[in-house]
Amino acid sequence: MPALMCVVKPDGVPQLCKTDEIGELCVCSIATGTSYYGLSGMTKNTFEVFPMNSVGAPISEYPFTRTGLLGFVVFSISVLHDERIVVVAEQRPDSTEEDSFQWMSRVLQVGVYCLALVPSNTLPKTPLGGIHLSETKQLFLEGSLHPCNVLMCPHTCVTNLPKPRQKQPEIGPASVMVGNLVSGKRIAQASGRDLGQMEDNDQARKFLFLSEVLQWRAQTTPDHVLYTLLNCRRGHLQDGDHVALVYPPGIDLIAAFYGCLYAGCVPITVRPPHPQNIATTLPTVKMIVEVSRSACMMTTAGICKLLRSKEASAAVDVRTWPPVLDTDDLPKKKPPILYKPSNPDTLAYLDFSVSTTGMLAGVKMSHTATSAFCRSIKLQCELYPSREVAICLDPYCGLGFVLWCLCSVYSGHQSILIPPSELEVNPALWLLAVSQYKVRDTFCSYSVMELCTKGLGLQTESLKSRPLDLSRVRTCVVVAEERPRIALTQSFSKLFKDLGLHPRAVSTSFGCRVNLAICLQGTSGPDPTTVYVDMRALRHDSLPLMESGKILPGVRIIIANPETKGPLGDSHLGEIWVCSGHNASGYFTVYGDEALQSDHFNSRLSFGDTQTIWARTGYLGFLRRTELTDASGGKLPTSVIRTHKSITECAVFTWTNLLVVVVELDGSEQEALDLVPLVTNVVLEEHYLIVGVVVVVDIGVIPINSRGEKQRMHLRDGFLADQLDPIYVAYNM
């Protein structure tokens, strides 16, 4: 739009400034306002300004309008293979934020990528009094400019986003396999050791069902008081009914689980609602109970009271709960007949987990798969009756549930159970138990590791005197169905190194919904290694990939092309497929329509070994020699976290076709606006995506569950309900 702009001295006569001299911006255009209604004096001072040249003569016969903005700097930055215009202007102290944004919005219609307003007289100066252009640009790129207002316009300025690739006919899977063989590359396939034949001294292996193993152990080793407390009131339940077990971590949960097996019911472990956060935790309980079609709920008297409270009534419709059985008030009469399944392939239990995207996924575990799972872990970790294992994680799904409730019964070892909630009162409880019982193997979650790192960071010297000795720890395995949090595990290892913890002892497991444990660091595994991979095929830079243990016995891995379903060669990125006796049987759905997900659990290669049935994990990875490396995960949050030292965590979600990036700020609130252009730039440069909204929040606002997984759906709900209490929200135009 035709317009004239000049810079005049802010005080006195509106005389033109010299080059690089700071002054107030004045605009002459037909698009500006003409007056203040009813305020003739202010109108003359604002809308009828005639700038003077050095000899005192007006430079134009047309009046100029004061913007209220002081001197500015214009430079360009390279974003997505093009130069983008950035304007940094000083804001007058008497200019309101609304006036500034109106002016900024008008300016941004002419292709300005970013407009930043800084307080008056804060732009860096040259020795001669001009504005230091290069230093201003450097501060902007470093995130140290500290603007008071930022407005970005990537949607209208960035017009060279890459178009989707045209689908080209690819080489078939047979040709890929032949090419690998000709070039000397072996097929990317690996497996754990063979489970072996049944041994005479392995009595547990002779039983098809864990309930039989428990009976045998109760008869042969009655000193295990834990296993003699089990009983169950069948009530009106029928064989095969689903029962939701809503218990805090403890012995009651284990007793209720085996009680269900003896009653012929299918147990589903459910995390109880948090008493201080019923509004957000109880709906998840209700959803799992409904989706699993539970005919009954078993719980303690305290949770029964909580489910019937006024707070619970406000969160969900308590009238639709199935019958609730209080196991604190059970009859002492022993049931006359213990149920025994007719077929080992029948359903043993359901494993429900809420993903980080808010999707509830329940998988079916048969008795055969459950026994194979326990045997695989027994061989990998060398578990036998004289061993002691410390477990500090939530026992509601995945490997955490198996370690808490099943493995001790199968292997006969003693499990030292430490509920993670206890660490909120005493952060040292887990490590003190490991030291006191001289435990060699322990399992924990990322949340437990984080609690210890934060709560005991300044107490290592006092812990030495207690005394706390971790030198006997051989394996400390973090259990989580997510990508490794390398920074956390490294800081944990470094912090407790002085207490005897060996860095190689700390590792992470790898599992997913189709197979709850694919890799696990065992007693005789090699040293964990970090592989740095050239990430050009996955996008820019390099990424450290943490080794996640040794493939479990009885597990076979192959890397396949997810589209052609053909096998790939070594070091080629593809989907991880797994074949194992402890694979889940399939997804459990309310409507019984499992055809849509059958491909996940019953896939075959299109070429090569077409007879083996594989389960598709949905994770990308590659095989390097015989090591499985998981290369999947959130590359976008990683890119954002790298942009500025004050960003500690990041999560992304979509909102009405806009990409929302939430970052946690560890620093002064003055730095919040520095992050907006940096976040927008890096996502655009590395991922070819335009950020619609940047939300800067305090540390700890991004919700993380007990397994260390970011809860993006809860974060999205909090954003839409305006409950995040953000430091700053930037809506990119």
Helix (H/G/I), strand (E/B), else coil: 387: coil
Tell me if 443 sits within 8 A of 392, measured CB to CB: yes
Phi, psi of 344, deg, nearest 5: -65, -15
pLDDT surpasses 90 at 245: yes
Q: Other C-beta atoms within 10 Å of 235: how many?
A: 11
Rounded CA-CA distance 69/73 in Å is 12
pLDDT, position 664: 92
pLDDT over threshold 70, residue 19? no
Q: How far is Cα 129 from Cα 465, in angstroms, rounded to an integer?
A: 61
Mean pLDDT to the nearest integer, 642-669: 87
Measured in residues, the chain has a length of: 733
Question: Lowest-confidence range among 98-112, 237-251, 596-610, 696-710?
Answer: 98-112
Q: What is the pLDDT of residue 117?
A: 83
Q: Which of 106-115, 289-298, 493-502 has the lowest mean pLDDT?
A: 106-115
pLDDT digits (tens, 9 = 90+) for 39-82: 877 777 788 888 888 888 888 888 888 877 666 677 778 887 77
CA distance 650 to 287: 28
Give me the pLDDT at residue 733, please. Answer: 66
AA identity, residue 226? L
Please give the full DSSP string across 230-270, using - where no structure is assigned. Answer: -----TT--TT-EEEEE--SSHHHHHHHHHHHHTT-EEEEE
- Res 598: pLDDT: 63
167, pLDDT greater than 60:
no
Mean of all residue pLDDT scores within the chain: 79
DSSP 625-685: TTEEEE--S-HHHHHHHHT-TTEEEEEEEEETTEEEEEEEE-S-GGGHHHHHHHHHHHHHH
More confident residue, 336 or 418: 418
User: Poorest-confidence range of 21-30, 196-205, 547-556?
Assistant: 196-205
Q: Give the model confidence (pLDDT) of 182-211 as tens digits.
A: 555 666 677 777 766 544 445 545 666 777
For residue 232, what pLDDT is reported?
Answer: 36
Q: 127 versus 276: which is more confidently predicted?
A: 276
Burial 457-473 (b: 16+ CB within 10 A, else e): eeeeeebeeeebbbebb
Which uninterrupted H or E stretch holds 103?
A: helix 97-107
E strand or H helix at 311, and its extent? Answer: helix 310-315
In 3D, which of 533, 504, 541, 699 has the Cα closest to residue 629?
A: 533
pLDDT for the residue 633: 45
Cβ count within 10 A of residue 23: 22
Q: How many CA atoms lie within 13 A of 122 on its CB side?
A: 17
pLDDT of residue 632: 47
Q: Does residue 249 have a pLDDT over 50?
A: yes
Lowest mean pLDDT segment, chosen from 286-295, 302-311, 354-363, 711-720: 354-363
Distance CA 343, CA 349 (A): 14
Q: Which of 246, 215, 247 is nearest to 230 (CA)?
A: 215
**Tokens coding 472:** 């006997």
Tell me the pLDDT band of 663, cut-offs 50, 70 and 90.
very high
The answer to whether residue 10 scores a pLDDT higher than 50 is: yes
pLDDT surpasses 50 at 228:
no
> What is the predicted pLDDT for the residue at 233?
40
- Claim: this prediction has a pTM higher than 0.85: no
| Angle between helix 210-220 and helix 251-262 axes, rounded to 10 deg | 110
Token reading at 628: 């499985």
User: Which residues lie below 8 Å from residue 593, measured CB to CB, with a gap of 6+?
Assistant: none
Tell me the average pLDDT across 160-183: 60
Lowest mean pLDDT among 501-505, 545-549, 568-572, 709-713: 545-549
Q: What is the mean pLDDT of residues 243-270?
A: 89
- Please say whether the beta carbons of 113 and 151 come within 8 A: no
Q: Which pLDDT value is given to residue 695?
A: 92
pLDDT at 583 over 50: yes
pLDDT digits (tens, 9 = 90+) for 303-342: 888 888 888 888 888 788 888 888 877 666 666 567 777 7
- Calculate what percentage of the chain has a pLDDT beyond 90: 5
Spatial CA neighbour of 431 closest among 503, 500, 522? 500
Within its chain, how far is the Cα of 547 from the centroid? 18
Contact 132, 125 (CB under 8 A): yes
More confident residue, 129 or 113: 113
Average pLDDT over residues 637-657: 86
Alpha helices in 108-209 (DSSP H): 133-142, 154-157, 173-182
Domains of the chain: 4-157 (3.30.300.30), 176-192+524-630 (2.30.38.10), 210-340 (3.40.50.980), 635-731 (3.30.300.30)
More confident residue, 236 or 278: 278
Question: If 0-12 CB within 10 Å is exposed, 13-18 middle and 19+ buried, where does residue 369 land?
Answer: buried
The answer to whether 187 and 622 have CB atoms below 8 angstroms apart is no
Residue-wise pLDDT for 420-437, tens only, equals 888 888 888 899 889 888
CA 731/CA 733 separation, integer angstroms: 6
CB atoms within 10 A of CB 41: 8
State whether the Cα torsion 338-339-342-345 is positive or negative: negative
Give the separation between CA 116 and CA 87, rounded to whole angstroms: 6
Looking at residue 114, its pLDDT comes to 83
Q: What's the confidence (pLDDT) of residue 130?
A: 67
Given a contact cutoff of 8 angstroms between Cβ atoms, the answer to whether 344 and 369 are in contact is no
Phi, psi of 441 (to 5 degrees): -130, 130
Half-sphere exposure of 274 (CA within 13 A, CB side): 8
pLDDT, position 24: 80
Q: What is the DSSP string of 456-508?
A: STT-HHHHHTTT---TT--EEEEP-SS---HHHHHHHHHHTGGGT--GGGEEE
From 515, 497, 517, select the one nearest 506 (Cα to Cα).
497
534 pLDDT more than 70: no
